[in-house]
Amino acid sequence: MAQPKVESIQWIEEPKQTLSMHPKKFALWLFIVSVVMIFAGMTSAYIVRQSEGNWLEFDMPQMLWYSSGIILLSSITMHWAYAAAKKDNLSSLKLAMSVTALLGVAFLIAQFEAWKELVNMSVYFVGNPAGSFMYVFTGLHGIHLISGVVFLLVVLINVFRYRVHAKSMDQIEMCATYWHFLDGLWIYLFLFLQLNH
Amino acid sequence: MATTQDQTYHEEGTLTHDMHEEEHHHGNFITTYIFSTDHKMISKQYLLTGIIWAFIGGLLSILFRLQLGFPEMDMTFLKPLLGKWITDTGTLDPNFYLALVTMHGTIMVFFVLTAGLSGTFSNFLIPLQIGARDMASPFLNMLSYWFFFLASVIMFASLFLESGPAAGGWVIYPPLSALPQAIPGSESGMTFWLVSMALFIASQLMAGINYITTVINMRTLGMSFSRLPLTIWALFLTAVIGLLSFPVLFAAALLLIFDRSFGTSFYLSEIYINGEALPNIGGSPILFQHLFWFLGHPEVYIVLLPALGITSEIIATNSRKPIFGYRAMVGSLLGITILSFVVWAHHMFVSGLNPFLGSIFMFLTLIIAVPSAVKVFNYLTTLWKGNIVFTPAMLFSIGLVSVFISGGITGIFLGNSAIDIQLHDTYFVVAHFHLVMGSASFFGLMAGVYHWFPKMFGRMMDKQLGYIHFWATFIGVYAVFFPMHYIGIDGFPRRYYSFSTFDSFNTFADLNMYISIAAIITFTAQAIFAFNFFYSMFRGRLAPANPWKSNTLEWTTPRHPGHGNWPGEIPSVYRWPYDYSKPHAKDDFIPQHIPFSETPESNLPHENNLIGIEQEGEETSKVDEPNAK
């Protein structure tokens, strides 16, 4: 096997370590990319459609301000949970996770109240696309938020089983990433609707 | 640290054979063959489903070619198959003709050339060629196949609906697809289509996330991006395109579902149907076209890139030459990927698009000719003066280059917004995309099957039957699609049920008949492939470990790789995958897992330096062995 030209000891070049990240976290980011593309498609459709005229003007429901506040608050509590997990402070972790999940539910209720406000203003899902888009944006985001709440609950259960702590942070890190993303996504949609109204 | 001995045992496949056989027979029938999480089994599931779909899709095209080629024909003999879609006078129901065209397009584009091509080869080759035990998430991978399977079942079921399957064209433009009153196919057929496609999109997203994660994070030691085989580059970028474009199709389909089932007006506005005004006001059908083609155009490259990657690999291997311009190949793949997202409106030149925008999209579209031409040039220069081995896979790869050129050139005509006014929606377009996207991708698929069949099933496919299949298919696709250019330039519109009522088109009746006969022969010739495929799976000649003397890692696995691919350590990679006919080398190929220190006779100066550098660093790296597995 050894080649005569080489010295008596066979040296083999060391193959380089390849770039590598946590595969599941990486996959989560890719999933986020695909969600971004859905909403990028939707908001582009909104702009394209709006530019064609025949666009119903109506006031944004006041409730959306409150729901935006709620979801921003939930991002803070999510970070609190993350920090607590890092410090192995399990009682704060449980509290913070539960509060975050409750704020998530509160956000969904607030969004539903916003729909009621729209209905009271006679802006329905069926009718001018200006109104329909409003329902589609909030509804589609709401469905993703429900998945976020489910993710929160799964992590919360694992907290109670002592599976989330300073040495086992992957799950809560992914949960936090997704939750902050959903928060950011809503803030984007909210600003988008405020500005392109 | 990997030693030389570790690296060489792979070549003696029999040594490790017994060991893995045991592994193979673990698990019961259901976990091994049905709900398998092994990427190789999932890939075979994709391939088999794809082949079945290809035959169904092909059969549908034969049915409508009968109508186009022989408009006066008595089709009563098809009554057992088509039932009430053959009218009492023995003619094909015009609504069903439209459904046939629609389903042929949908099946071929999505179920055969997306799932069947990239699903098969991404699953099979990504872990094997980058040196991974399986995908990043084998479970998600299995789920992706079963979502596809469910989508397939629903799409197949729609063929048997009372009102017929979707019939608004594979592009499902509203308002035709949105209004059940408009065409019978837009009743439950369209609902089935949308549900099926929603599942299909979910399946493709799961698969794509998996492919990208695997390629980036699971490569073996030494497998840097610049040493990736071009197949992996192509499959990786295909997944990236899919990840970015499929969600947009989902958005488009979701709004269409709302329009159809909930009464919204995203795409509908001021429509009178049968003298009755619809309540929908304020929608925009052009909006759908924008959203659809934002997926629809990248979809063309989702279909094509895997075929181009497979071809790069096969042409280099069978020319016994390094691929010409590896970096240019990667660059052109990247270029195509990026450009694929900024050209969608060239499908909409006649939709009332602003002519200024039209000229921008024309400019961007024509730029795609540059990376495409780079690829063709590199294929030809790789073939140039090579010791070409004409395996069936190689013939299909060369065939791909041929149809890619013929179909690509007409793309330059069609990309021109002025010429497109004349050619839009004629048979010229049909000829163009069937050559450049349909046939090229199909040839890539076939090349891949012939080339990797020995690795998939441990047996060889019959070579002679492969040659017959190739020549029948190659001559066949030209015989079918080349004449379509002429009738297209003459103004034949696509999707028309019958031309015999237009005097000016009657002159082409014989040409249409010729196309139909050629199509029937080409389709029938695919039976040779089917026989070869299934017969060889069980009775083929046993495959040697590396039948094509190829460099990539999949050929270092045993004849039947178990779940985990390599029985021992995963081989490390020391060189790029195209060291064919390297001057002074002992063999005309040096696989990727052979270190430079084993091949002093053929090393280039900088490669010798690589060994030298490692020697100096050896003392320190030996202490902690950071890279040992």
pLDDT single digits (tens) B137-172: 999 999 999 999 999 999 999 999 999 999 999 999
In a domain, B464, yes or no: yes
Rounded to a whole number, what is the distance in Å from the CA of B23 to chain A's nearest CA?
26
Q: Which two tokens stand for residue A196?
A: 């392109």
| The pLDDT of residue A141 | 96
| CA atoms of B570 and B364, how far apart (whole Å) | 44
- Asked whether the beta carbons of B246 and A30 are under 8 A apart, the reply is no
Residue B156 CB neighbours (<10 A) = 18
Out of B222, B287, B574, the one facing A45 most closely (by C-beta) is B287
The residue-averaged pLDDT of A67-94 equals 95
Q: Which long-range contacts (CB under 8 A, 24 or more apart) does B607-612 make?
A: B607/B575, B610/A13, B611/A11, B611/A12, B611/A13
The residue-averaged pLDDT of B488-498 equals 90
Q: If you average pLDDT over each of B419-423, B503-507, B509-513, B516-520, which comes out highest?
A: B516-520
Strand partners, B542: B459
Q: What is the DSSP letter of B599?
A: -
| CA atoms of B629 and A89, how far apart (whole Å) | 35
In this predicted structure, the answer to whether residue B529 has a pLDDT above a threshold of 60 is yes
| The pLDDT of residue B142 | 95
What percent of chain B clears pLDDT 90, i.e. is strictly above it?
A: 78
In a domain, B492, yes or no: yes
In this predicted structure, the answer to whether residue B616 has a pLDDT above a threshold of 80 is no
What is the dihedral sign for C-alpha B99, B101, B104, B108?
negative
Distances (CA, A) of B410 to A55, B413, B436: 41, 5, 9
- DSSP helix/strand/coil, B586: coil
Out of A15, A27, A40, the one facing B221 most closely (by C-beta) is A15
Location of structure tokens 């199909």 = B442
Out of A6, A26, A132, the one facing B217 most closely (by C-beta) is A26
Rounded to a whole number, what is the distance in Å from the CA of A49 to chain B's nearest CA?
7
pLDDT single digits (tens) B540-552: 999 999 999 999 9
In this predicted structure, the answer to whether residue B76 has a pLDDT above a threshold of 70 is yes
**Contacting A residues, span 76-115, partner chain B, CB-CB under 8 Å:** none
In this predicted structure, the answer to whether residue B501 has a pLDDT above a threshold of 80 is no
To test the contact with chain B by mutation, choose from A18, A50, A133 the residue with the greatest count of B C-beta atoms within 10 A, namely: A18
Distances (CA, A) of A130 to A46, A189, B205: 8, 14, 29
In a domain, B529, yes or no: yes
Out of A26, A37, A52, the one facing B247 most closely (by C-beta) is A37
Can you give the CATH number for the domain in which B216 is found? 1.20.210.10
In this predicted structure, the answer to whether residue B254 has a pLDDT above a threshold of 70 is yes
The residue-averaged pLDDT of A69-92 equals 95
What percent of chain B clears pLDDT 70, i.e. is strictly above it?
A: 93
Write the CB contacts of A157 (distance below 8 Å, at least 6 apart in sequence).
none
| CA atoms of B426 and B142, how far apart (whole Å) | 41
CB contact under 8 A, B255 and A26: no
In this predicted structure, the answer to whether residue B252 has a pLDDT above a threshold of 60 is yes
CB contact under 8 A, A38 and B250: yes
Nearest CA in chain B to A125: B264
Q: Which two tokens stand for residue B12?
A: 């003696």
pLDDT single digits (tens) B197-229: 999 999 999 999 999 999 999 999 999 999 999
CB contact under 8 A, B572 and A10: no
* Residue B502 CB-half CA count within 13 A: 13
In a domain, B594, yes or no: no
pLDDT confidence band for B624 (50 / 70 / 90): very low
pLDDT confidence band for B627 (50 / 70 / 90): very low
In a domain, B353, yes or no: yes
How many independent structural domains does chain B possess? 1
**Phi, psi (5° rounding) for residue B272?**
-105, 130
**Contacting A residues, span 10-39, partner chain B, CB-CB under 8 Å:** 10-24, 26-27, 30-31, 33-35, 37-38
Helix (H) and strand (E) counts in chain B? 21, 2
What value does the mean pLDDT of chain B take?
Answer: 90
pLDDT single digits (tens) B269-303: 888 888 888 888 888 899 999 999 998 999 999 99
CB contact under 8 A, A33 and B251: no
| The pLDDT of residue B537 | 95
A140 contact residues in B (CB cutoff 8 A): 254
CB contact under 8 A, B137 and A49: no
Out of A2, A33, A48, the one facing B243 most closely (by C-beta) is A33
| The pLDDT of residue B16 | 41
Write the CB contacts of B384 (distance below 8 Å, at least 6 apart in sequence).
B324
CB contact under 8 A, B244 and A45: no
pLDDT single digits (tens) B237-247: 999 999 999 99
Residue B17 CB neighbours (<10 A) = 14
The residue-averaged pLDDT of B358-376 equals 95
| The pLDDT of residue B10 | 41
The residue-averaged pLDDT of B418-423 equals 92
In this predicted structure, the answer to whether residue B13 has a pLDDT above a threshold of 70 is no
**Contacting B residues, span 566-605, partner chain A, CB-CB under 8 Å:** 572-574, 595-598, 600-601
Nearest CA in chain A to B594: A12
Residue A66 CB neighbours (<10 A) = 16
| The pLDDT of residue B335 | 96
| The pLDDT of residue B72 | 86
In this predicted structure, the answer to whether residue A107 has a pLDDT above a threshold of 60 is yes
**Phi, psi (5° rounding) for residue B352?**
90, 15
A14 contact residues in B (CB cutoff 8 A): 1, 614, 617-618, 621, 627
In a domain, B611, yes or no: no
| The pLDDT of residue B348 | 94
Rounded to the nearest 10 degrees, how much is the dihedral formed by the CA atoms of B377, B367, B250, A47? 170
- Asked whether the beta carbons of A93 and A159 are under 8 A apart, the reply is yes
- Asked whether the beta carbons of A60 and A158 are under 8 A apart, the reply is no
In a domain, B94, yes or no: yes
Q: Which of B235, B358, B354 is nearest to B301 (CA)?
A: B235
In this predicted structure, the answer to whether residue B17 has a pLDDT above a threshold of 80 is no
A41 contact residues in B (CB cutoff 8 A): 247-248, 251-252, 291, 294
B255 contact residues in A (CB cutoff 8 A): 45, 136
pLDDT single digits (tens) B124-141: 999 999 999 999 999 999
Domains and CATH numbers, chain A: 58-195 (1.20.120.80)
Check CB contact of B214 with chain A, cutoff 8 Å.
yes
In this predicted structure, the answer to whether residue A5 has a pLDDT above a threshold of 70 is no
The residue-averaged pLDDT of B101-129 equals 96
Nearest CA in chain A to B216: A20
B574 contact residues in A (CB cutoff 8 A): 12-13, 15
| The pLDDT of residue A20 | 80
| The pLDDT of residue B168 | 92
| The pLDDT of residue A7 | 46
CB contact under 8 A, B247 and A38: yes
**Contacting A residues, span 36-65, partner chain B, CB-CB under 8 Å:** 37-38, 40-42, 44-45, 48-49, 52, 54-56
pLDDT single digits (tens) B449-474: 999 999 999 999 999 999 999 999 99
| CA atoms of A70 and A76, how far apart (whole Å) | 10
In this predicted structure, the answer to whether residue B250 has a pLDDT above a threshold of 70 is yes
* Interface A-B: count of C-beta contacts within 8 A: 176
Domain, as residue range, for B420: 4-539
pLDDT confidence band for B20 (50 / 70 / 90): very low
What value does the mean pLDDT of chain A take?
Answer: 90
| CA atoms of A134 and A186, how far apart (whole Å) | 12
Q: What is the DSSP letter of A58?
A: -
| The pLDDT of residue B282 | 83
- Spacing of C-alpha B544 from chain mean position: 28
pLDDT confidence band for B3 (50 / 70 / 90): very low
DSSP B265-307: -SS--S-EETTEE-S--S--HHHHHHHHHHHHHHHHHHHHHHH
Q: Which of B538, B533, B608, B571 is nearest to B223 (CA)?
A: B571
A126 contact residues in B (CB cutoff 8 A): 262-265
| CA atoms of B62 and B95, how far apart (whole Å) | 16
Q: Which two tokens stand for residue B266?
A: 């995203």
| The pLDDT of residue B63 | 95
Q: What is the DSSP letter of A124?
A: -
pLDDT confidence band for B230 (50 / 70 / 90): very high
The residue-averaged pLDDT of B467-483 equals 97
pTM: 0.91
**Contacting A residues, span 110-149, partner chain B, CB-CB under 8 Å:** 125-130, 132, 136, 140
In a domain, B590, yes or no: no
| The pLDDT of residue B172 | 94
A127 contact residues in B (CB cutoff 8 A): 264-265, 282
B615 contact residues in A (CB cutoff 8 A): 11
Rounded to a whole number, what is the distance in Å from the CA of B248 to chain A's nearest CA?
5
CB contact under 8 A, B3 and A12: yes
Q: What does chain B come to in residues?
A: 629
* Residue A87 CB-half CA count within 13 A: 10
Lowest mean pLDDT among A48-52, B290-294, B531-535: A48-52
